[in-house]
Structure 1
């Protein structure tokens, strides 16, 4: 059966749940066989204040969050949507913290490790002038998916980037890079990745 990967993005009130930040929106784009096959998006109300800076960055206001479903309801729903499908995010160190923290409040745990398209792009596209998600996608020539810093648009951008990186590994190195391979690759140093890929040419 073809592998699915659930690409996840959060919009939040701050940088870390350890500092009291909470999510305001979650988006998921599920990829399979080279395309996006399913999507999930919802705003959520965690009772947290959205600062003017965050509102300007994301377009998500306090009024929008107040009218959104409770965070526990949304997180339970998105966890069911993802199930045990392997996960990926761009800068997964950020999104995985919020995923783990919010599921932890529900007494749940994630089902898989996160692959990280930021780490992977640094290893596979070291020549890129920027590895931020929007800049990298424009440099590669991938399509616009909507407003940056909205969860589903960013999840779709990261999904397209993941598919692009998997395509590069297949076309240039004859490597079918499943989620497990990607997780292993991102843990290697840039020099080790270069040596590995040279050996596979």
Structure 2
């Protein structure tokens, strides 16, 4: 069962998209993912994909992904079929995971593919484990935790890389501040769903 898999062996992913909602016809234009095993990066996946229509000038400016870059990119179906292979058998992590999960589900449904893993949200975990931080946007957390980065945000692989680093920071905090070594994925999902005021008590009960 993937639920009991270790939390440090996951695939951290990030989509860049044409907009906010696959239900309104928005598509993925880039996928970036980092595969962690035992807390180490063992593989990466990064592809641009052509959504079949021009992206807005806002999205070009926001992501740095231009229509010229997408002209020669493979269509979503080809890229997402390959990505489905990449994620099989792994649990998944994303920052604001509900967004990425919507696009993953929609794009995989379009090519008749599925996945076995579960999603955890590094944003929700961050809100529970670093409650003193005022903003849990990825860039702000990178600065707060002094996470190494190349200064690029809103490109899929760069965002997946720093989200993976952030995820490992959370696992380290569980070890150093709560005495929880090698948490499983189910615990991370539980942390994300626990009300902020009750997180400390919940974590304290684990080691009793």
Q: How would you bin the TM-score normalised by the shorter chain?
A: over 0.9
Report how far residue 121 of structure 1 moved: 0.1
SS in 2 for 1:4: coil
CA contact (8 A) 2:9 2:39 kept: no
Pairing 1:194–2:200 present: yes
Could you tell me which residue of structure 1 aligns to residue 12 of structure 2? 7
Quote the Cα distance in structure 2 between the aligned partners of 1:21 and 1:148: 20
SS in 2 for 1:131: coil
Pairing 1:184–2:173 present: no
What is the number of residues matched between the two proteins?
201
SS in 1 for 2:33: strand
Quote the Cα distance in structure 2 between the aligned partners of 1:192 and 1:20: 39
**Long gaps (5+) in structure 2:** none
SS in 1 for 2:12: strand
Quote the Cα distance in structure 2 between the aligned partners of 1:44 and 1:168: 36
Quote the Cα distance in structure 2 between the aligned partners of 1:146 and 1:87: 24
Pairing 1:64–2:69 present: yes
Pairing 1:125–2:133 present: no
CA contact (8 A) 1:145 1:154 kept: no
- What is the alpha-carbon root mean square deviation over aligned residues? 1.6
CA contact (8 A) 1:116 1:186 kept: yes
Report how far residue 83 of structure 1 moved: 1.2
Moved more, 42-51 or 93-102: 42-51
Quote the Cα distance in structure 2 between the aligned partners of 1:197 and 1:177: 11
Quote the Cα distance in structure 1 between the aligned partners of 2:115 and 2:152: 28
**Long gaps (5+) in structure 1:** none
Quote the Cα distance in structure 2 between the aligned partners of 1:159 and 1:193: 22
Aligned ranges 1:57-96 → 2 under 5 Å: 57-96=62-101
Could you tell me which residue of structure 2 aligns to residue 110 of structure 1? 115
Quote the Cα distance in structure 1 between the aligned partners of 2:87 and 2:183: 20
Query: What's the TM-score once normalised by structure 2's chain length?
Result: 0.91
Could you tell me which residue of structure 1 aligns to residue 154 of structure 2? 149
Q: Where does structure 1 differ by over 6 angstroms across 4 or more consecutive aligned residues?
A: none
> Whose relative contact order is higher, 1 or 2, with alpha carbons under 8 Å and at least 6 apart?
2
